[in-house]
């Protein structure tokens, strides 16, 4: 668990510096820390770090995303900043470094057709090699090193939570998933609910191309007479289990809703439960696996 659990209680500001080569998972890690209650500032210029530290102390620990695209970024400047913070009594700092093997990074860039920021318009491999060399001194200073090569985005988030979720459970995260049974269950779910018995908007041509976040689709699904009692019992179950898991020291619970295509019914139920739990004060994040996959493919096609 995070070193910040005790130290932030003594008026020290906990700071996680998040970095690593492009494509290794830094963005996913930043989002995971945000879901854990960290105040996130991504791509902060290093020259602004002293001003941030000298300002009013934040109520939550900070997660600062840093990469080679940052204005005034250099390995020497970042190491100097780390050393400077180590000398301060009011700050406790950890460096979280995401990494992956060169062939993994090349494959990820090939799949997304993105340009590497240091490739100068050439193939990603040249930029990846340059960036790894540039970041090598920072990697050597990492307090937490996560190799994302064999990790799915969900597994990566779980790894971040393992290191940085408070040990006393005072920050308890809930992730609500939607998915298609055609592609199997997402990894790491604690609870799974099948929504395939509800009315299916796929058979309404006016709704087929929409998804469960659309008001008309949500209304269609919720008109099913079985929706209200189903959702009421799900919400009651969540209200029973979440405090119990928190008391047992867990920092996170994943609840999944599946339907045939992962586009309509499961998304509607996931959105509704996520909103209900957020309204009650729980820290909630959402993942719509099939919608994320569709959006990623659309981005590739546009590229």
Domain ranges of the chain: 4-164, 173-302
- The fold of 4-164 is Rossmann fold (3.40.50)
Q: What is the pLDDT of residue 303?
A: 54
Q: What integer pLDDT is reported at residue 7 of this predicted model?
A: 34
Q: Whole-angstrom Cα distance, residue 258 to residue 185? A: 8
pLDDT of residue 6: 31
pLDDT of residue 122: 62
Paired tokens of 15 = 């700071």
Contacts of 30 (CB under 8 A, 6+ apart): 18, 40, 42, 63, 65
In 3D, which of 167, 154, 126 has the Cα closest to residue 292?
154
CA-CA-CA-CA dihedral for 255, 287, 149, 94, to nearest 10 = -90
pLDDT along the chain (303 residues), means of 10: 38 79 88 86 83 76 82 79 78 87 80 62 73 86 88 86 66 85 88 97 96 97 98 96 83 90 97 93 86 75 61
Could you tell me which of 202, 196, 204 has the C-alpha nearest to residue 226? 196
* Contact between residue 201 and residue 221 where contact means Cβ atoms under 8 Å apart: yes
Q: Show the DSSP H helices in the chain as ranges.
A: 4-7, 26-35, 49-54, 75-86, 102-112, 124-139, 153-164, 215-222, 227-247, 265-279, 289-302
Q: What distance in Å separates the CA atoms of residue 226 and residue 87, rounded to the nearest whole number?
A: 61
Q: For the whole model, what pTM was predicted?
A: 0.52
């Amino acid at each position: 668990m995070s070193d910040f659990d005790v130290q932030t209680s003594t008026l020290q500001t906990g700071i996680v510096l998040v970095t690593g080569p492009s494509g290794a998972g830094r963005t996913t890690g930043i989002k995971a820390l945000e879901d854990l209650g960290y105040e996130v500032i991504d791509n902060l210029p290093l020259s602004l770090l002293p001003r941030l530290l000298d300002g009013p102390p934040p109520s939550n620990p900070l997660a600062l995303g840093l990469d080679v695209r940052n204005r005034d970024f250099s390995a020497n400047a970042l190491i100097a900043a780390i050393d400077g913070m180590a000398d301060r009594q009011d700050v406790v700092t950890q460096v979280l470094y995401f990494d992956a093997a060169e062939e993994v990074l090349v494959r990820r860039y090939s799949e997304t057709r993105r340009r590497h920021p240091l490739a100068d318009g050439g193939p990603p491999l040249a930029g990846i090699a340059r960036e790894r060399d540039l970041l090598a001194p920072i990697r050597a200073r990492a307090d937490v090193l996560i190799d994302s090569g064999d990790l799915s985005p969900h597994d990566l988030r779980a790894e971040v939570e393992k290191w940085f979720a408070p040990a006393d459970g005072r920050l308890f995260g809930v992730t609500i998933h939607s998915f298609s049974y055609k592609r199997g269950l997402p990894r790491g779910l604690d609870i799974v609910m099948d929504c395939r018995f509800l009315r299916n908007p796929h058979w309404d041509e006016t709704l087929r191309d929409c998804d469960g976040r659309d008001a008309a689709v949500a209304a269609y699904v919720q008109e099913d007479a079985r929706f209200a009692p189903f959702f009421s019992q799900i919400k009651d179950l969540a209200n029973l289990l979440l405090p119990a898991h928190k008391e047992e020291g867990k920092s996170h619970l994943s609840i999944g809703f599946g339907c045939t295509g992962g586009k309509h019914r499961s998304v509607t139920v996931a959105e509704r439960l996520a909103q209900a739990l957020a309204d009650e004060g729980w820290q909630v994040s959402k993942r719509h696996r099939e919608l994320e996959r569709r959006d990623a493919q659309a981005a590739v096609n546009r590229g």
